[in-house]
């Protein structure tokens, strides 16, 4: 008879090669064909990839010009037509789209012709200002395929036992939705463990779950995986013989944390994404920067010069991340400045053989660690997760832990002078859960200033002078 491990190993390939493709096809989702396409185009020459981008850009601009008020006016003001864009570099002729403009132009950027909006999401508020994003099915399908390809560079495969050491958002509202999520995770062999509590008890519990689950891959917040890895190494808790890849994101992966992760688990692969477009770039086996998904988006790294003008960053320079979703026709986001900073790379073929352009490291996603009333570490991203469902009632927020250990959440309400009672109660309950014993209060402010680098720090931990 086949033992349990052999049966489970057979299940993974069966899911990846037969069950998942059939299920996606039955739902009318072209995820698998798109993934195969991306696995081919990633080996194209840089010029061929740029030609592809140019064609997709002209399609996007043609649709946006014909069917959205905002882009028709923006192009008319500049005397531009879609056919004027002869290369991907010509995108610099379009205006930048900052967060305030994204919010103010939601209605005027909605296309008046198909495809219509299929998905609506709120960003997690990494810069303290969440943004609502709307997009069509085509964009969603490309996002799914892009994620699967990027994870695949790390050795991940659909059907592998994957431990997600991630932050937990609010639970699904309906029993049916919760059961649907649970079934999906069971079929795909995904285990979700909350990485936000980082005290000794929580870390030890995570190690116990890891041992029982025996993951073949891990997807984690960078700081969460690092905290767990340091805990394992310092206490000599590694009992598993087989190493497995760890895909990290949401925060920068520091060199000393990479070393700890690789000692505790296996090779680390950095990824970078945002909810506006999902996975934007991923590290390959060369570990020399993160390849961007040129087939699905245009990623620019721009530098603001002293006179206020913007230019493309030179290799090695840090600049602002600007993205264009080439497949979002329902509510285009062209040259969207997402608030992150990243290092530009020279455009050349990687040692892995891929010509996809690279960026990294991303220097604007680091979140400080908070402490609960007992001194246990708590990942600051927990409040980003909460804010993802508050975009209708608050514009900006910032969490500050003072020297005495108390925590204040500064909030700029959307309407009025304070949050509705139900939202205020939800925040306090969230703080009680993740920061037990730490005095917590909400402070209403008119604005939250940026740092000298132009960033709004979501989490500030005061330090002794």
Over residues 129-180, the pLDDT tens digits come to: 678 899 999 999 999 999 999 999 999 999 899 999 998 766 777 888 888 8
In a domain, 385, yes or no: yes
For the entire predicted model, the pTM comes to: 0.84
Residue 187 lies in a domain: no
CATH code at position 394: 3.30.300.30
Does some domain include residue 165? Answer: no
Closest to 280 in 3D by CA, of 168, 218, 360? 360
Whether 392 is covered by a domain: the verdict is yes
Q: Given the DSSP bridges, would you call strands 407-413 and 394-401 parallel, antiparallel or unpaired? A: antiparallel
Q: Cα–Cα distances in Å, from 388 out to 54, 131, 316, 359, 433? A: 33, 9, 33, 26, 17
Give the pLDDT confidence of 314-348 residue by residue, as tens digits.
999 999 999 999 999 999 999 999 888 899 999 99
Domain ranges, residue 454: 369-461
Crossing angle of helices 222-234 and 200-213, in 10° steps, is 90
- CB 134 within 8 Å of CB 110: yes
Q: What is the mean pLDDT of residues 67-94?
A: 97
CA dist 56 → 49, 82, 214, 297 (Å): 11, 11, 42, 9
Position 1 scores a pLDDT of 43
Domain total for the chain?
Answer: 1
Task: Enumerate residues 6+ apart whose C-beta is below 8 A from 206.
Answer: 165, 193, 195, 228
Is 377's pLDDT higher than 50? Answer: yes
Per DSSP, helices labelled H in 196-304 are 200-213, 222-234, 255-264
405 lies in a domain? yes
Are 405 and 438 contacting, i.e. CB atoms less than 8 angstroms apart? yes
Whether residue 404 lies inside any domain: the answer is: yes
pLDDT score of 309 more than 70 = yes
Q: To the nearest whole number, what is the mean pLDDT of the chain?
A: 90
Selection from 223, 264, 266, 271 nearest residue 247 by Cα: 271
Is 401 within the bounds of a domain? yes
Chain length of the chain = 465
pLDDT of residue 365: 61
Q: Does 442 fall in a domain? A: yes
């Amino acid at each position: 008879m086949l033992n349990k491990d052999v049966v489970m190993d057979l299940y993974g390939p069966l899911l990846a090669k037969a069950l998942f493709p059939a299920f996606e096809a039955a739902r009318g989702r072209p995820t698998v064909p798109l993934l195969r396409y991306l696995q081919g185009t990633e080996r194209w020459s840089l010029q061929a990839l740029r030609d592809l981008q140019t064609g997709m850009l002209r399609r996007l601009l043609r649709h946006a010009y014909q069917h959205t008020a905002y882009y028709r006016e923006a192009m008319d003001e500049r005397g531009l037509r879609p056919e004027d864009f002869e290369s991907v570099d010509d995108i610099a002729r379009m205006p930048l789209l900052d967060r305030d403009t994204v919010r103010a132009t939601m209605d005027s950027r909605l296309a008046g012709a198909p495809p219509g909006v299929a998905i609506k999401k709120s960003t997690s508020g990494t810069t303290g200002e969440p943004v609502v994003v709307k997009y069509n099915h085509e964009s969603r399908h490309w996002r799914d395929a892009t994620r699967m390809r990027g994870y695949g560079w790390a050795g991940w495969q659909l059907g592998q036992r994957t431990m997600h050491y991630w932050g937990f958002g609010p639970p699904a509202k309906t029993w049916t939705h919760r059961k649907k999520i649970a079934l999906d995770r069971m079929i795909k062999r995904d285990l979700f463990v909350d990485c936000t509590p980082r005290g000794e008890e929580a870390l030890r519990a995570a190690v116990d779950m890891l041992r029982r689950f025996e993951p073949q891959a891990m997807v984690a917040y960078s700081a969460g995986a690092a905290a767990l890895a340091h805990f394992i190494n310092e206490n000599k808790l590694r009992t598993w013989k087989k190493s497995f890849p760890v895909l990290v994101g949401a925060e920068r992966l520091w060199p000393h944390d990479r070393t700890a992760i690789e000692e505790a688990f296996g090779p680390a692969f950095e990824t970078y994404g945002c909810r506006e477009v999902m996975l934007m770039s991923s590290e390959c086996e060369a570990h020399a920067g993160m390849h961007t998904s040129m087939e699905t988006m245009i990623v620019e790294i721009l530098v603001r010069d002293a006179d206020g003008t913007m230019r493309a960053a030179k290799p090695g320079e840090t600049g602002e991340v600007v993205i264009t979703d080439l497949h979002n026709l329902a509510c285009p986001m062209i040259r969207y400045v997402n608030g992150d900073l990243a290092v530009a790379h020279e455009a050349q073929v990687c040692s892995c053989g891929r010509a996809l352009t690279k960026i990294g490291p991303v220097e604007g996603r680091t979140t400080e660690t908070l402490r609960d009333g007992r001194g246990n570490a708590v990942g600051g991203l927990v409040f980003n997760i909460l804010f993802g469902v508050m975009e209708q009632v608050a514009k900006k927020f910032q969490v500050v832990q003072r020297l005495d250990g108390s925590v204040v959440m500064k909030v700029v309400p959307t309407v009025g002078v304070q949050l509705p009672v139900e939202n205020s109660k939800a925040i306090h309950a969230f703080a009680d859960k993740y920061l037990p014993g730490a005095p917590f209060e909400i402070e209403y402010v008119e604005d939250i200033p940026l740092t000298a680098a132009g960033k709004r720090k979501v989490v500030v931990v005061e330090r002794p002078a």
